[in-house]
């Protein structure tokens, strides 16, 4: 009986708060599309990016980039699925901008991850598709 009451309460609470917690699609400004990846196609950069991904991104985005990391489970919105067509269709510049700027709950990494390292992460992310 308690279970039924809790499920009903949670369902009611979720539906009434859904609009409040839903966020708009995250789109980088069009100027970001003009940012060129200086390391594009560099296999060594992708290998370095994989190590960085495991240290910095894995906890939220998961081991294969599906957005299913342990820390991401409680986040709203959920971490992006980096393997999805929607994500992979973005330019490297747009992804670079998002990593640099962040958007809650994702932190800005502009000052904590050097520019070259952010490009390395992007090169690795491109291997996840």
Per residue in 79-123, pLDDT (tens digit) is: 999 999 999 999 999 999 999 999 999 999 999 999 999 999 999
**pLDDT at 8 exceeding the cut of 90:** no
Task: Delineate the domains of the chain, giving CATH numbers in brackets.
Answer: 32-126 (1.10.760.10)
**CB–CB of 69/115 below 8 Å?**
no
The set of residues, in sequence order, having a beta carbon less than 8 Å from that of 52 and lying 6+ positions away, is 113, 117, 120, 121, 124
**pLDDT at 40 exceeding the cut of 90:** yes
**CB–CB of 49/107 below 8 Å?**
no
**pLDDT at 67 exceeding the cut of 80:** yes
Mean pLDDT for all residues in the chain: 87
DSSP per residue over 107-118, as a string? PP-TTTS-HHHH
The whole-model pTM stands at 0.81
């Amino acid at each position: 009986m308690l279970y039924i009451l809790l499920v009903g309460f949670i369902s009611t609470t979720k539906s009434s708060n859904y609009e409040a917690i839903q966020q708009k699609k995250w789109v980088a400004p069009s100027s970001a599309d003009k940012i060129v990846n200086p390391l594009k196609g560099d296999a060594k950069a992708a290998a370095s990016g994989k190590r960085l991904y495991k240290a910095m991104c894995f906890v939220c985005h998961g081991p294969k980039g599906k957005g299913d990391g342990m820390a991401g489970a409680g986040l709203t919105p959920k971490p992006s699925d980096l393997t999805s067509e929607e994500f992979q269709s973005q330019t490297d510049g747009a992804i670079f901008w998002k990593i640099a700027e962040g958007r809650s709950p994702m932190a800005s990494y502009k000052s904590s991850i050097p520019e070259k390292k952010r490009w390395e992460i992007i090169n690795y992310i491109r291997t996840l598709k």
